[in-house]
Every structure is written in structure tokens, then in C-alpha cells.
């Protein structure tokens, strides 16, 4: 069952690359997992991103609308362009670190993966599902922050202060990607 799930996940990954759905910064990592690791595979992944979300609060999903998303550093102009748009609630900028979901073929492999992930700065990781066809491990970085940019029609930061915020959010994004690179290297050195 684990092998069949792995094959289906690989086919989904290849199809998602073809349609442009996969985060480009993580493609090589995922390919290496499928090609070089016998005991794990991925079912979802993100290398980190910056989003601008129209929502009552940054953690609300049901009433929120993502108005901008990028897996790379953002420019001040990109943020300023979004600020020109009307919003229903509040406009938040959110920097989210990497998150990956792996499937391990045993509890021992899952624990070894968790040890590697935590040593690379993914302290919030854990086993989220024990199934007959594999153990799902969520590997998540603690690099996350949000800031309110706009309340209704009122922009809260002038462009000089906004430039400082945008730089900080880009730095946070790059820190997460640095941790992801370390995780990639550590997994390849392991016998997973």
C-alpha cells in the first residue's frame, strides 16, 4: 500500500510540475526525495511564501481572501499595488516558512526524519497521522510572522516604513529557505 501511495504521489508531482502548480524553489528537493530516498516521500510542500490576505485576522481561513502570493522575495512596488485595492476586512502581510508533508514507511524512519528536521530548525514538526499505508510527518519551520497593513480603506504605514517591513518579511522568507536547504542536504546525507 505504501509503494502504491508513493507511485501515485510521484505521478501527481510530475503532473503538477507540468501545469505549473509546484513551487519552483522546492522542485529539486522533492525530486531528490523520490529519486534518492527509499523510505520517505512527499505529498505536499511549500518552500515558504509571502502572502497578502484580506481577513479579519491573519489566522482566519474561512472569511479570508488571498490577494497576493509569492514564493520569492517581494518588492515594495508589488505591496504598494495591492494596497491600492479595496479590502473587505483588513489587509495583512504574512511571511510563512517552509512546510512539507512526508510519508515514512515505518515509525523508526518517521522518528529519524523528525530528528533531522528538528536539527535543521524545523522545531514545530511532528507525526500527524498513523496509517496502515504510512506515517505522515509534518515538517514545519517556526519562521512565521504577520503585520497589519490596512484597516478598511486606511493604509497604516507610509511607504518609507513599509519598505522596512517588506525587507524584514523578505529576510524572514529567506531564513526559512535557508533552513530548507539545510534540511535538503541533511536528508540526502542520511539513509532515509
Residue-number span of the structural domain to which 111 is assigned: 2-189
The whole-model pTM stands at 0.91
Query: Can you give the pLDDT of all 192 residues of the chain as single tens digits?
Result: 999 999 999 999 999 999 988 888 999 999 999 999 999 999 999 999 999 999 999 999 899 999 999 999 999 999 999 999 999 999 999 999 999 999 999 999 999 999 999 999 999 999 999 999 999 999 999 899 999 999 999 999 998 999 999 999 999 999 999 999 999 999 999 989
For the chain, how many structural domains are there in total?
1
Terminal CA-CA length for the chain: 19
Q: What CATH number did the domain enclosing 157 receive? A: 3.30.1960.10
List phi, psi (to 5°) of 105: -90, -5
Q: What's residue 21's pLDDT?
A: 86
Amino acid at each position: 500500500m505504501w509503494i502504491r501511495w508513493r507511485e501515485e504521489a510521484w505521478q501527481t508531482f510530475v503532473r503538477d510540475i507540468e501545469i505549473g502548480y509546484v513551487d519552483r524553489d522546492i522542485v529539486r528537493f522533492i525530486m531528490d526525495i523520490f529519486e534518492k530516498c527509499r523510505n520517505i516521500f512527499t505529498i505536499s510542500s511549500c518552500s515558504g511564501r509571502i502572502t497578502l490576505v484580506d481577513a479579519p485576522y491573519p489566522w482566519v481561513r474561512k472569511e479570508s481572501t488571498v490577494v497576493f502570493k509569492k514564493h520569492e522575495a517581494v518588492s515594495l512596488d508589488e505591496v504598494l499595488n495591492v494596497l491600492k485595492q479595496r479590502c473587505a476586512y483588513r489587509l495583512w502581510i504574512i511571511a510563512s516558512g517552509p512546510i512539507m508533508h512526508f510519508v515514512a514507511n515505518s515509525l523508526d524512519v518517521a522518528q529519524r526524519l523528525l530528528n533531522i528536521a528538528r536539527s535543521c530548525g524545523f522545531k514545530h514538526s511532528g507525526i500527524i497521522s498513523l496509517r496502515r499505508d504510512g506515517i505522515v510527518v509534518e515538517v514545519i519551520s517556526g519562521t512565521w510572522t504577520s503585520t497589519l497593513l490596512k484597516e478598511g480603506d486606511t493604509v497604516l504605514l507610509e511607504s518609507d516604513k513599509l519598505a522596512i517591513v517588506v525587507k524584514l518579511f523578505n529576510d524572514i522568507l529567506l531564513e526559512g529557505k535557508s533552513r530548507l536547504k539545510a534540511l535538503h542536504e541533511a536528508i540526502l546525507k542520511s539513509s532515509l
